[in-house]
Structure 1
Amino acid sequence: MIRDYRKYELEGKEKTLFLAGGYGCIFLVVYLFYHSIWLSAAAGLLVHFLQPYVERHLAEKRMNLLTIQFRDLLYSLSASVAAGRQMAEALVEAEQNLAVMYEEKEPIMKELRYIRINLVENKESDKVLLKDLAVRSRNEDINNFVQVYATCRSMGGDLEKIIGHTSEILTDKMTIEREIKVITAQKKTEGRIISLMPLAMLLMMNLFSYSYIEPLYQTAGGRIIMTGALAGVAYGMYLMEKLSEIEV
């Protein structure tokens, strides 16, 4: 069970790989602009400042993954309730159904395992467990579904019809959001390629026409120009990422 889906902490091998890879990338980029091993080695330590941004990105990725997997859970719950099962039974059955599609390490499988244990062994209410998932996931779609189910339980109503209708609405909404993200993903990729073009051009000039750009590495004025260029490239990458972000 994940306590808060908005928080992600790099640990163990994952953190080691990030620090090593990030340090190496920063080292190479800085060396490409300054040809200074000492400066590049020192600049590589900036990777620690990038860790919060990477963790936030991974947290968002995990939340998006949970949203997609929750859509499959809705299909399973709707089918089980339509077959006459109570929500608690449907949740337990959903773990078996989704095990065919997802591995145990996937977020939805961890949540269903946690729900099953508390339902069967601790005799907790399915409504309480679903509300807990909604709070921890910080997901609007999950929260909307839980609110509808909780209201249905409290005030009465045709559970099968309400859950089926709600599931249909939420899955349609998730599908539209998914399509939007697929469209914007292409633009993000194009933006990242454009952002990397200055680095590629500088590398090619270093390899095939170094004498042409040698003054940029040997003079004070050249160092200033390269510093400005590096700052421009970094800001361009940041701006490209911000412009390609679309809230759905």
Structure 2
Amino acid sequence: MDYRKLELSFHEKAGFRAAVISTGMMIGWAFYDSVIAGLAAGIALMMTENMYKKGMLEKRKRRLLSQFKDLLYSISSFVSTGRSLGQALEESIDFWRGTYDDQDYIMRELKQMTKNIKESNMPDVDSFDDFAKRSGLEDAEDFVMVCKTCKATGADFSKAAERSAGIIEDKIDIERELSSIMVQKRFEGRVIASSPFGLILMIKILSPDYMAPLYETTLGRAVSTISLVLMAAGLTVMERVIQIEI
């Protein structure tokens, strides 16, 4: 499994399209009181599918990174007792079995790496390197580099693994805290950016006659269009401002 890529399943695509069409219909009803405008807005929102996939990838990466941190803990623990990397990977399966399900990313990868080592006679470092490349995790690639360096120079792998694992774990903790802050700020920004839309919906429902001039005159439709464009622009700017690479 290549964690750097994502192909939406049929159900995921259907759910996404149903959501954007529904949102588009609400926009068309609130701003133009028109089904045609709603369908047009829904079709336009279809173009945000790549943004949706990017968000799903980020969510999967955060989950994988959290599980990888736990894996580093077990690897450093087993290696410190004299186990090789391959043995540490194999014993980590039983170590984390009560914490993770067999379908969790790290459990599937541990089983695959162990299978590659035992059945395909793949070197343990190469098997871990394959996972690191597919994961897209910079921290995993850094750990592989430590393993390769120790193997090439004959350095004490147990001490190097323990020290590097500690450094990487601290880095992951910091990244997780920053990511949590970013998620919170993104949510707050989306609420603020979409609040005018919620206000318009409320007025439309509670006092439809008050909104009638927006739908019945050319000036009203122009005001609705300008308002919608400004809301979309504000949301886009907000997303870009808080899109900071950690």
Normalised by the length of structure 1, the TM-score is 0.94
Number of aligned residue pairs: give it: 246
Q: How does 1:208-227 map to 2 (within 5 A)?
A: 208-227=206-225
SS at match of 2:102: coil
Structural mapping, 1:27-106, within 5 Å:
27-106=25-104
**2: CA distance, partners of 1:95 / 1:110:** 9
Structure 1, residues 97-119: CA drift from partner, whole Å, max 9, x if none?
A: 22222222222222112112111
Task: Give the secondary structure class of the aligned counterpart of 1:103.
Answer: coil
Question: Partner letter of residue 143 of structure 1?
Answer: E
* CA distance in 1: counterparts of 2:115 and 2:188, whole angstroms: 46
Counterparts of 1:201 and 1:144 in 2: how far apart (Å)? 49
Alpha-carbon distance in structure 1 between the residues aligned to 2:93 and 2:7: 27
The two structures, once aligned, show a CA RMSD in angstroms of: 1.4
| Equivalent in 229, 242, 245 of residue 243 of structure 2 | 245
Conserved? CA contact 2:214–2:223, under 8 Å? yes
Alignment of 1:163-202 (within 5 A): 163-202=161-200
Q: What is the CA deviation profile of residues 43-89 of structure 1, one whole-angstrom value per residue up to 9, with x for unaligned ones?
A: 32234312111111111211121111110000010111112211101
* 1:28 alignment partner AA: M
**In structure 1, what is the equivalent of residue 130 of structure 2?**
132
**3-state SS in 2 of match to 1:83:** coil
Secondary structure of the structure 2 residue equivalent to 1:112: helix
Partner Cα separation in structure 1 for residue 137 and residue 116 of structure 2: 22
Deviation at 1:209, TM superposition (A): 2.7
Q: Does 1:21 align with 2:19?
A: yes
Check the 8 A contact 2:24/2:42 in 1, yes or no.
Answer: yes
Secondary structure, in 3 states, of the residue corresponding to 1:10? Answer: coil
Post-superposition Cα deviations, 1:134-159, rounded to whole Å, max 9, x if no partner, equal: 22222211111100111101111111
Q: Is the 8 A contact 2:73 2:165 kept in 1?
A: yes
Kindly provide the amino acid, as one letter, of the partner of residue 230 in structure 1: L
Task: Tell me, yes or no, if the aligned pair for 2:28 and 2:36 is still in contact at 8 Å.
Answer: no
Unmatched runs of 5 consecutive residues or more in structure 1: none
Q: Mean alpha-carbon deviation: is it higher for 73-82 or for 52-61?
A: 52-61
Q: Which moved more, 1:79-88 or 1:34-43?
A: 34-43
| Residue of structure 1 aligned with 2:110, choices 86, 109, 112 | 112
CA drift of 1:22 comes to 2.0
Contact 1:145–1:167 (8 Å) recurs in 2 = yes
Percent of pairs identical after alignment? 36
Q: Residue 6 of structure 1 contacts residue 56 of structure 1 at CA under 8 Å; is this kept in 2?
A: no
> Residues 138-157 of structure 1 correspond to what in structure 2 (within 5 A)?
138-157=136-155
In the alignment, is the contact (CA less than 8 A) between 1:7 and 1:55 conserved in 2?
A: no
Scaled by the length of structure 2, what TM-score is found? 0.95
Tell me the equivalent position of 1:229.
Answer: 227
List 4+ stretches of structure 1 deviating above 3 A. none
| Maintained 8 Å contact 2:93/2:111 | yes
